[in-house]
Amino acid sequence: EVQLVETGGGLIQPGGSLRLSCAASGFTVSSNYMSWVRQAPGKGLEWVSVIYSGGSTYYADSVRGRFTISRDNSKNTLYLQMNSLRAEDTAVYYCARDRDGYNLMDVWGKGTTVTVSS
Amino acid sequence: QSALTQPPSASGSPGQSVTISCTGTSSDVGGYIYVSWYQQHPGKAPKLMIYEVSKRPSGVPDRFSGSKSGNTASLTVSGLQAEDEADYYCSSYAGSNNFVVFGGGTKLTVL
């Protein structure tokens, strides 16, 4: 079964760091484009970052320089390292498989919640 | 403020059709075929319903259809059913700088 499972969310103080993980099963992370999308409480979806199968990475302006997307091929897992966290980063973070790298996100995890608060 | 503009709400009775619009610019919706629509039920992850403007993934009922004219994309749900009640988000590829932009979402209510 094709599946994504996010972990690593929690309560963190402003300025802190957190690393989210997204374990994949049923397909190979390194052979696909993989994205992170977040949703603030009561708000819409916001694309955060993508890593191409070739390794290129892209970020939304709101997180560029603070967040880093990466993957561990041996663990078939995607990561999102989040530094210098702000209150506005509070959201449910979803990982998703993008089949063609052009906004065809066909497999989504259930999400992990990040709360940035003092 | 979202990059793409959607109406906040839409509604229809069972069996009726409803169309949700999504307006962007020539840098996103108008410039690419890579427009997708996602359905999200409360507390659940989004689900891909339409990709490349009008294509349906396997398993999505043909009651869901998509189209595009200029900078505006549309999602039409025909033969409304109770389980169609959800939030719907449009999104578009927007080039290598912005990559993907989303609309603010439309809450579809089945009366």
CA end-to-end span of chain B: 28
The pLDDT of residue B98 is: 79
B85 has a chain A CB within 8 A of its CB: no
Residues of B in contact with A94 (CB under 8 A): 45-46
User: What pLDDT band is residue B1 in, cutting at 50, 70 and 90?
Assistant: low
Write the pLDDT tens digit of every residue in B58-82: 999 999 999 999 999 999 999 999 9
Pair B16, B34: CB distance under 8 Å: no
> SS3 for B32-47, per residue?
CCCEEEEEECCCCCCE
Residues 6+ apart with CB under 8 A from A64: none
Contact B101 A47 (CB under 8 A): yes
Tell me if A45 and B46 make a contact (CB, 8 A cut-off).
yes
CB A97 within 8 A of CB A27: yes
Distances (CA, A) of B31 to B23, B48, B61: 12, 21, 27
Average of per-residue pLDDT values in chain B: 96
- Note the pLDDT of residue B97: 78
Contact A44 B35 (CB under 8 A): no
Q: What angle do CA A68, A60, A102 make, to 5 degrees?
A: 100
pLDDT for A100: 85
Give the pLDDT of residue A101.
81
Q: In whole numbers, what is the pLDDT of chain A averaged over residues?
A: 96
Distance from CA of B46 to the nearest CA of A (A): 7
Q: Each residue of A60-108: pLDDT tens digit? A: 999 999 999 999 999 999 999 999 999 999 999 999 999 988 889 999 9
Structure tokens at A44: 């819409």
Pairwise CA distance, residues B75 & A60, whole Å: 26
Nearest beta carbon to residue A103 from set B36, B46, B47: B36
Chain A nearest-CA residue for B88: A44
Q: Does B46 touch chain A (CB under 8 A)?
A: yes
Whether residue B60 lies within 8 A of chain A, CB to CB, comes out as no
Any bridge partners for residue A82, and if so which? A18, A67
User: Residue with structure tokens 């970020």?
Assistant: A59
**pLDDT at residue B15 in the model:** 97
Predicted confidence (pLDDT) at residue B32 exceeds the cutoff of 70: yes
3-state secondary structure B48-87: EEEECCCECCCCCCCCEEEEEECCEEEEEECCCCHHHCEE
Best of B35, B99, B106 to mutate (most A CBs within 10 Å, chain A): B99
